[in-house]
């Protein structure tokens, strides 16, 4: 498999409501690309998440750009994830793409999305 496939597709907090971003990784000069989801309560703003992801990915030799953001509500007890909202700075991520990525990781969860702000 490729090195890019080894990058964790999803890194989000195990519980609570928090900001998330959708990030596209790409080999410099094009070719292989992959979208990943990152979200954490530790981030007050969406760019805080990106500022952490960017150098990590750069070290691995990928260019990355933020495709947008939103919020994730993660209820691990009921195995539910809700994706909603948007990022003021980056705009709204395509939540349907985010849901597809989340489903690969959280296979037994009920995962939904909406354009609701709250």
Q: What are the Cα distances from residue 111, in Å, to 19, 79, 100, 118?
A: 16, 8, 9, 16
Catalytic entry in 46, 48, 74, 95: 46
Please list, in sequence order, all residues whose beta carbon lies within 8 angstroms of the beta carbon of residue 90, skipping any fewer than 6 positions away.
21, 46, 47, 50, 66, 67, 68, 69
Neighbouring C-alpha atoms within 13 Å toward the C-beta of 9 = 12
Residue 92 per-residue DSSP state = B
Q: Is 74 a catalytic residue?
A: no
Rounded to the nearest 10 degrees, how much is the dihedral formed by the CA atoms of 114, 81, 7, 48? Answer: 70
Q: What DSSP designation does 91 have?
A: B
Q: Is 19 annotated as a binding residue?
A: yes
Feature table: binding site for substrate: 19
Catalytic residues: 46
Feature table: binding site: 19
């Amino acid at each position: 498999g490729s090195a890019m496939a080894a990058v964790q597709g999803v890194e989000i907090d195990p519980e609570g409501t928090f900001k998330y971003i959708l990030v596209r990784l790409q080999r410099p000069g094009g070719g292989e690309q992959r979208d990943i989801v990152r979200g954490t309560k530790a981030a007050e703003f969406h760019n805080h998440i990106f500022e952490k992801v960017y150098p990590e990915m750069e070290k691995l030799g990928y260019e990355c750009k933020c495709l947008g953001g939103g919020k994730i509500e993660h209820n691990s007890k009921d195995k539910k994830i809700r994706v909603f909202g948007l990022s003021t700075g980056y705009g709204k991520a395509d939540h349907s793409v985010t849901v597809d990525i989340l489903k690969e990781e959280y296979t037994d969860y009920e995962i939904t999305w909406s354009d609701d702000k709250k």
